[in-house]
Amino acid sequence: MMRTRPLKVALLGCGVVGSEVARIMTTHAADLAARIGAPVELAGVAVRRPDKVREGIDPALVTTDATALVKRGDIDVVVEVIGGIEPARTLITTAFAHGASVVSANKALIAQDGAALHAAADEHGKDLYYEAAVAGAIPLIRPLRESLAGDKVNRVLGIVNGTTNFILDAMDTTGAGYQEALDEATALGYAEADPTADVEGFDAAAKAAILAGIAFHTRVRLDDVYREGMTEVTAADFASAKEMGCTIKLLAICERAADGGSVTARVHPAMIPLSHPLAGVREAYNAVFVESEAAGQLMFYGPGAGGSPTASAVLGDLVAVCRNRLGGATGPGESAYAALPVSPMGHVVTRYHISLDVADKPGVLAQVATVFAEHGVSIDTVRQSGKDGEASLVVVTHRASDAALGGTVEALRKLDTVRGVASIMRVEGE
């Protein structure tokens, strides 16, 4: 039997995502009520600009006092889509203290202060859900946290930022340079006016921290994630990748060490074979590849950003939290029992593609090979071309640690025959 008294929802933020959440709550009210077992009512909307016309939202619900809204005491669920650290953090903890559960899309806050927020939710017996914080509409957090709860996840490898994937895909398919591809992404609305958070990897790093924490039952903060942007990727890098049968993606990679004693989390551009499922992820789409012991290899794919996709994830969490509310229960909280150490980037082992500008004369290859050998880095393939006294030398290594490769490159720079290191890129997905 359906409960007639509605569950009251407070919405913090009414931008692209928030307005879509409000629209779906209104237009799909009957379906949501049937799925939850009680109607849901939008009880208030906190915004910064109250005079802006918001179609479909009763102006009487709009307020600039978000604190008063979450303190009302009759709010069942607070939906936070304002982003940033403050005032979102204070509003969420205040909501817990005044009896509300929280649904958030705030990746930066969850990555930085997830442990403290989970502790506050547990203290007050409330839910904290944030499916929309990672990969938009793609169901990812709940499968990791619930569906794979009985399995052991060893690796999460993914494209989790649509802006960077659009840019890299354009560079790959059209031969455009970085700036040209960025300008196209901006014109089409895929890139912000200031794209720094995307192209420098900050957005993906926050998502990697969240995914690593859930996958490995270990607290992984944003500061634990190695981050490298993709602004230095060139058309020449794509040409080299194609010669290897690869393409280039900005990847978030979370791994359990082979001995199981530690984990790593990193974001950086990487070459991946065209045969890998992630190589075919085009335009602004996201995809995440999960490797676990029992389930094997799983891939989650779909639109990773935008008002409607993100709102879909928010509403999915809202339904789950409302069901918990009716049942007098809470869903899964933080699982950090493993408490594994997070290893620094220097310990990460992978393959590398190194492009060197060298003098075109006998003995150069032998000198370079000697440096690699002295640092314990095994060479897989070498390709050399050049004329008029200058040459390009491309070396692809077998698996080596980041620290060993760093020492190798430092020694290479000291050789008189090496004019410069044109590019260094990791090779993943093999």
Give yes or no for residue 387 having a pLDDT over 70. Answer: no
| Helix, coil or strand: residue 399 | coil
Tokens 């003995």, located at residue: 363
- Sign of the alpha-carbon torsion through 300, 402, 391, 381: negative
Whether residue 199 has pLDDT greater than 70: yes
Nearest residue to 195 via CA among 186, 204, 208: 186
- How far apart are alpha carbons 9 and 232 in whole angstroms? 45
DSSP 316-343: HHHHHHHHHHHHT--------TT---B-
Q: Is the pLDDT assigned to residue 137 strictly greater than 90?
A: no
SS3 351: strand
pTM of the model: 0.94
More confident residue, 78 or 422: 78
Whole-angstrom distance, CA of residue 187 vs CA of residue 171: 16
Task: Give the relative orientation of helices 307-327 and 29-36 as an angle to the nearest 10 degrees.
Answer: 40
Residues recognised as catalytic: 207
Per the prediction, the chain carries an average pLDDT of 94
pLDDT reported for residue 416: 92
Closest to 306 measured CA to CA, from 190, 208, 186:
190
Locate tokens 């090979």: which residue?
369
Question: 293-327: buried (b, 16+ CB within 10 Å) or exposed (e) per residue?
Answer: eeeeebebbbbbbbbebbbbbbbbbbbbbbbbbee
3 state DSSP class of 401: strand
In this prediction, residue 190 has a pLDDT band, given cuts at 50, 70 and 90, of: confident
Quickly count: other Cβ atoms within 10 Å of residue 274's Cβ.
Answer: 13
- pLDDT for 429 equals 82
Tell how many helices (H) and how many strands (E) occur in the chain. 14, 17
* Strands (E) located in 121-183: 128-129, 153-159
CB 99 within 8 A of CB 72: no
Lowest mean pLDDT among 20-34, 127-141, 230-244, 381-395: 381-395
Contact 77, 324 (CB under 8 A): no
